[in-house]
Chains A and B, each alone.
Chain A
Amino acid sequence: MFNLPAKFIGTLAAAAMGASLAMSPASAADDTIKVGILHSLSGTMAISETTLKDTMLFLIDEQNKKGGVLGKKLEAVVVDPASDWPLFAEKARQLIEQDKVAAVFGCWTSSSRKSVLPVFEELNSMLFYPVQYEGEESSRNVFYTGAAPNQQAIPAVDYLAKEEGVERWVLAGTDYVYPQTTNKILKAYLNAKGVKDEDIMINYTPFGQSDWQTIVSDIKKFGSTGKKTAVVSTINGDANVPFYKELANQGIKAEDIPVVAFSVGEEELAGLDTKPLVGHLAAWNYFQSVDADANAEFIKEWHAYTKNDKRVTNDPMEATYIGFNMWVKAVEAAGTTDSNAVIDSIVGTSVPNLSGGYATMMPNHHITKPVLIGEVQDDGQFDIVYQTPGLVVGDEWSDYLPGSKDLISDWRKPMSCGNFNIVSGKCGGVTN
């Protein structure tokens, strides 16, 4: 299909000399570097993941304009795992074995990441994972550029306790691994800070919950004991819209019971009338409203690429941006796309983030991030009300969970271990 125009242009370019040399390598598969994009384009997760596929195509396009990597153009290989977790593993295998991609950018839910993890370890490839997650994992082949719980959940709770004087906590989440682990960590953290069990209410709902009447009225009840109450929400994806609608309709204002969310960003608010939500919070490492030159430029180019100046940017997009640039830098430092070489060279790599600072890949394959707290505005954007003074290093094994607090991860040689137990001094063990 592409043969004819490529040949045609090639003939034209031959007259212009030299240009034909640039064209012919581009059409030969061996002289491009293939990059896999593993995001759901259909099914339930398409709502969130499609944007990341577009972001990757945009980043690859920009990089090719700058001359590609190691003098070769990048070529995107897009597959659609269709929000189906086992299919993620199948598609990952296809990308690595058949398409021979140098690295894969993808996954959103923890279930999909857990599904592909053995494939990446078996075939010794690289996965860049751009979404906030529950931690408790570190793989030699996976690079976690989204937030670990200590880069999102814990600073948010600290902000509420300090700035809003919150004493009673509702931990509301969707019933799957990320909210459950995060809430376990948060509960341990709150208990350690002296919050009693009776002041913590934990509530789980199924995926896609749309009837929030009882739960919102329970929250109202829980919040009417005279102590300042807040909701920490790990409610996922689509369920957020009816949840916020019910909150607004039942008259719960942010001044009374603020909700801080970890899965609600600019993209999710795009489907909502945000006027009744003004003042509710979100904790992320990036907001579109960040006042930085790098961000302004990124947004401008993104709008130009998508030919739509209403397209919003969000935190997982920034994490994709950071991950992609880190990979490019590490490949250039290693001089090859060979996984072993890049995995060794990427630790310590620093690239600019979009909030005017730098992100560094740490030995535990997590990165440094600033933590921002934003309040929802009536235009669907966030007003940043708090930013951590410095950068926070992602903590893969939580310090607040009994099983994992003795574990550390360091993928540099000679340790090269994802779960080193500092008590027993051995790799791969939980203290019992």
Chain B
Amino acid sequence: MRLNRLLSVFILMLGVCCHIVQSHAQTVDDAKLRPLVQALAGDNFEDTTKAISDLVKTGDPRVSKILDALSAGDLYLAKADKTVFLGKRDGSDYAATDALTGAKLDPVPRSAAEKIKVNNRLRRDIAAAVGGLTLMSDNIAERRSAAEAILKTRDPESIPLLDQAIAVEKDASVKALMQQAKAAAVLSSDAADDVKIAAITEVSAGNSRDALGLLTPLENVQGPVGEAAKAAIDSINTKLAFWNAVQNVVYGLSLGSVLLLAAIGLAITFGVMGVINMAHGEMVMIGAYTTFVVQQIIRTSAPGLFDYSLLIALPAAFLVSGGIGVVIERGIIRFLYGRPLETLLATWGISLVLQQAIRSWFGASNVQVGNPSWMAGSFDLGLITLTWSRLWIIVFSLSVFAILQLVLKKTMLGLRMRAVTQNRRMASSMGIRTPWVDALTFGLGSGIAGIAGVALSQIDNVSPNLGQGYIIDSFMVVVFGGVGNLWGTLVGAMSLGIANKFLEPFAGAVLGKIVVLVLIILFIQKRPRGLFALKGRAIEA
């Protein structure tokens, strides 16, 4: 382990000296370089590591490209003549080019070539070695990754090289990164105390997490350096404590929005109509599978539309789940109004049937639903990392909520729905066809569960069991928020999410969940109608 670190330092050192050679734009004879490239296909990782350092030593400008290919797993060894070539998969062959000259070679069948093995450590070493080679590159992205690689290795030997690079760097953000890398390197060197203290100030101005990693080992050093490090760590920790609280709120909102999405359809079927719908989770699952089918169709017929696949899936999932909801209501549930126990059992049976149907149709394993590019990755908000997919789900669930409120409050269908829930007989006497309103309401609730499935397919796995994971949470949210009240569902979901996230760091995920459940039981004892109890004659009856 120590040896590994020494090795990577060694490689980097070589990178440094060859960089100086490289400034004379030295290329090496192919005849000299070829055996070195050939040596990359060593029997074990030690051999390959040595071959990498030998290659870097030559200072040839082609080396960084070859090493990048190795790191990406594009270098292969032909089994027949034992030559190393650069391959790209092409059907059952590899399209081969000479690793050194880039000349096109005959394609090699897949079975006749063997990939040159790389593991994480080799990839790190290569990144560091290539980092030394590309710190002065013309390409800004290469310079940035070079600085990042040195920031990770914190190698004192790279300080003169960084000085050189900082002097000519024009881009402010890359320059800052290089300065961070230099300060990090200074801290691992045996520089004088005042230089180190300046480096501590520099480091603590940057990314706090990285800074903690750099400063923690210095904390126990005697003298002014240790004191400065301790002071810096303390101030970072206060900052982190604040951001931790912010993180809990943000993550809580994110968890809450997932709960809201899962529960909001149920808030209609259970909350508004009073149907204990155990098949609600399966409506979510069907929405997720609709997304999968839409993506499959897009993949085969219009790959360019992939980034829009979720937008296309939304109406499709609404229609599919909503349609199934209407069929279930007309076919089964309408015969069971006023018999909650039978409804519970019947819908539970439906949920099993739907699960097994999907399982027979698509198989028991997970299906792969891809993330469009705008859903992937994350961004930093202060000191917390928020992923794009979570952020979009927060936005999405709030918009679904808003749209649903509009439908209920501003449309004719909404007016009728509310009329039927508040007083069925009176609504019927006023000429509303209550059976159709029931069917449409149930369809609306199921359809919304379907579009929740589209969103959940992005963060959870899409399998026939998808719905089961959400059904308990959904009921919990609706009951806690107050049956029959959408605002209650919103507040209920968000407060459960945030409570969960504040408990999780102290109690752990398992105990946290239990504590939340116990709290809800206590709460329901006190307020059986939830947070926002509906008032009215029909309810009291």
Contacts and interface: CB of A to CB of B under 8 A. Distances in A.
> Which DSSP category, helix, strand, loop or mixed, fits chain B's interface?
helix
Given A163-B119, A258-B120, A270-B368, A213 B390 contact: yes
Contacts of A258: 120
B364 interface: yes
A388 interface: no
A396 interface: no
A271 interface: yes
B27 interface: no
Interface string A241-273: 110011011110011101000000001101111
B109 interface: no
Interface string A180-221: 000000000000000000000001111011110111011011
A321 to B, nearest CB: 20
Interface in B110-138: 115, 117, 119-121, 123-124, 127
B504 interface: yes
Contact of A224 (B73, B209, B500): B209
Contact of A218 (B214, B390, B505): B505
Interface string A369-387: 0000001010000010100
A242 B385 contact: no
A165 B5 contact: yes
B117 A383 contact: yes
A204 B507 CA distance: 11
A162 interface: yes
Nearest to B248: A214
A164 interface: yes
A42 B355 contact: yes
Contacts of B120: 164, 254-255, 258, 279, 375
B37 interface: no
Interface string B158-187: 000000000000000000000000000000
Contact of B214 (A51, A210, A226, A242): A226
Nearest to A42: B356
A84 interface: no
Interface string B241-259: 0000001100100110010
A99 B124 CA distance: 58
B460 A163 contact: no
A205 to B, nearest CB: 4
Sort chain A's interface into a size bin.
35 or more
Contacts of A431: none
B206 interface: no
Contacts of A51: 365
Given A163-B45, A225-B213, A249-B376, A214 B463 contact: no
Interface in A398-429: none
A44 B377 contact: no
A273 B359 contact: no
B471 to A, nearest CB: 12
Interface of A: 41-44, 46-47, 50-51, 161-165, 167, 175, 203-206, 208-211, 213-215, 217-218, 220-221, 224-226, 238, 241-242, 245-246, 248-251, 254-256, 258, 267-268, 270-273, 276, 279, 375, 377, 383, 385
Give the 5 A-B CB pairs with smallest separation, nearest first: A271-B366, A241-B461, A249-B387, A165-B1, A226-B213
Interface of B: 1-2, 4-5, 45, 73, 115, 117, 119-121, 123-124, 127, 152, 209-210, 212-214, 216-217, 247-248, 251, 254-255, 258, 352, 355-356, 359, 363-368, 370-371, 376-378, 384-385, 387-390, 459-465, 468-469, 500-501, 504-505, 508-510, 513
